[in-house]
């Protein structure tokens, strides 16, 4: 028995922020942002919207797509770098918002690799037999933890949510997974304050310590390396080769990271799903949103072998190789 995706949905806030809008806020230019990152637009949630709101919308679409009701869900896993609170888990808030009254719920913190970690966890619960229907959500309102005075980061991130329902399937499903971490790089990409190490106080606010900080160059080099490594590992673990993979759906951080990695892998760009020009980096939401778009526009079909690849803060990385069920 395998675990497969039997429903998928995504939900994006309406408000669009363009590179030209950002030119009015910080010292940047459309040319710099599009050349260095590939991003042109990103979405921004309204001020009264949080990650559980976007996540609940995406979750309902995925559950409907699976022809299930919220009561059929046994477990909710939520991956987010911008959860509603430190606690309670945003997964529990989504559980209440969608009325999944029979579900256990918890959050997974693996930053931009969060969706891969959550999908891998769900796969193991299903294969192990404890749960049948698991909702996996990646949801971000990064605009609320972005420093809109810092041009190094504010041009990169966007808001949005994607969700899948996994269940036991006879054919297809998750073939192999790879996860990794290296906490020695934890300072390279972080939201420093608000936890027990650097609790919120006047100084943490004054020094803007409640916003994302990133050493872009180091993270860039790390990302290219782990992208290549874990892609090779996950196909090897499945006893397949990269030619067998119909589409790669990478975390949408920077077009130059993706191009450098697929060049090393000698993988054709036309089989890589990209949407970062429209949405920027949506951390844990970027992979499920791109997956849903490629499915809805007809690129991904039943039987296709799909590789999901993520990397990000922690440092963390991971990949899933799946045979598409829908
Ligand atoms: O999602 C989790 C994983 N995240 C990532 O994978 C992101 C990884 N990193 C990156 O994508 C890239 O490193 C960035 C897009 C963040 C930065 O690109 P870069 O080519 O590495 O630029 P840089 O940091 O080396 O900066 C080059 C120059 C600097 O100026 P000087 O020091 O050369 O005079 C920056 O100050 O570009 C400047 N700069 C900007 N200029 C205009 C940095 N941000 C901007 C900006 N507009 N928004």
pLDDT tens string 151-204: 999 999 999 999 999 999 999 999 999 999 999 999 999 999 999 999 999 999
- β pairing state of 247-250 and 305-312: parallel
Q: What is the 133 CA–ligand 1 centroid distance (Å)?
A: 41
Kindly list the protein residues whose Cβ atom lies closer than 6 A to any atom of ligand 1: 28, 32-33, 36-37, 112, 151-152, 155, 216-217, 219-220, 223, 253-254, 257, 281, 283, 312
Q: Clarify whether 85 is annotated catalytic.
A: no
Rounded to 5, what percent of the chain is helix, strand, coil? 40, 25, 35
In Å, what is the CA distance from 285 to each residue of 90, 183, 303?
14, 22, 24
Contact 166, 8 (CB under 8 A): no
Which DSSP category does 140 fall into? E
- Render pLDDT for 114-165 as a digit per residue (tens, 0 to 9): 999 999 999 999 999 999 999 999 999 999 999 999 999 999 999 999 999 9
Q: Of these residues, 50, 92, 112, 154, which one is catalytic?
A: 112
Note the pLDDT tens digit of each residue in 39-92.
999 999 999 999 999 999 999 999 999 999 999 999 999 999 999 999 999 999
pLDDT of residue 68: 98
Indicate the pLDDT class of residue 1, thresholds 50, 70 and 90.
Answer: confident
Residue 22: its H or E element: helix 19-23
Cα gap 312→297, rounded to integer Å = 28
Does domain 2-170 correspond to CATH entry 3.30.450.150?
A: no
Atom of ligand 1 nearest to the CA of 216: 13
* Residue 230 a catalytic site member: no
- Asked if residue 42 lies in contact with residue 17, where contact means CB atoms within 8 angstroms, the answer is yes
Per CATH, 2-170 and 175-323 having the same topology is answered yes
Q: Which of 33, 35, 31, 37 lies closest to 220, judged by CA?
A: 37
Share of the chain above pLDDT 70, in %: 100
Residue 66 pLDDT: 98
pLDDT at residue 276, rounded to an integer: 98
pLDDT > 90: what percent of the chain?
A: 100
The per-residue pLDDT for 298 is 98
Strand partners, 106: 77
Q: Is there a catalytic annotation at residue 201?
A: no
CA of 163 to the centre of ligand 1 (A): 30
Domains of the chain, by residue range, sit at 2-170, 175-323
Quick one: fold of 175-323?
Answer: Peroxisomal Thiolase; Chain A, domain 1 (3.40.47)
Q: Give 32 Cα–ligand 1 centroid separation in angstroms.
A: 9
The rounded Å distance from CA 214 to ligand 1 centre is 10
């Amino acid at each position: 028995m395998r675990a497969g995706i039997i429903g998928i949905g995504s939900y994006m806030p309406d408000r669009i922020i363009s590179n030209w809008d950002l030119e009015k806020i910080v010292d940047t230019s459309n040319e710099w942002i599009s050349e260095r990152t590939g991003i042109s637009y990103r979405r921004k949630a309204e001020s009264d919207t949080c990650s559980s709101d976007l996540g609940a919308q995406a979750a309902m679409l995925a559950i409907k797509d699976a022809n299930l009701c919220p009561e059929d869900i046994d477990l909710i896993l939520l991956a987010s770098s911008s959860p509603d609170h430190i606690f309670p888990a945003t997964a529990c808030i989504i559980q209440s918002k969608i009325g999944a009254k029979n579900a256990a719920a918890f959050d997974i913190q693996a930053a931009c690799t969060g969706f891969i970690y959550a999908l891998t966890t769900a796969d193991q619960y299903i294969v192990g037999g404890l749960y049948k229907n698991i909702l996996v959500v990646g949801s971000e309102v990064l605009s609320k933890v972005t420093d809109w005075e810092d041009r190094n980061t504010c041009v990169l991130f966007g808001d949005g949510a994607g969700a899948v329902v996994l269940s036991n399937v006879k054919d297809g499903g998750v073939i192999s997974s790879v996860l990794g971490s290296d906490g020695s790089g934890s300072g390279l990409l972080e939201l420093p304050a608000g936890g027990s190490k650097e609790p919120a106080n006047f100084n943490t606010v004054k020094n803007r310590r409640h916003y994302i900080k990133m050493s872009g160059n180091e993270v860039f080099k790390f990302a290219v390396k782990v992208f290549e490594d874990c892609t090779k590992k996950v196909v090897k673990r499945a006893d397949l080769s990269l030619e067998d993979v119909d589409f790669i759906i990478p975390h949408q951080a920077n077009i130059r990271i993706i191009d450098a990695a697929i060049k090393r892998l000698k993988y054709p760009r036309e089989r890589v799903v990209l949407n970062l020009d429209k949405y920027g980096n949506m951390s844990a939401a970027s992979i499920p949103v791109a997956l849903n778009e490629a499915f809805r526009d007809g690129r991904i079909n039943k039987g296709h072998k799909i590789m999901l690849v993520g990397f990000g803060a922690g440092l963390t990385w991971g990949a899933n190789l799946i045979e598409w069920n829908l």
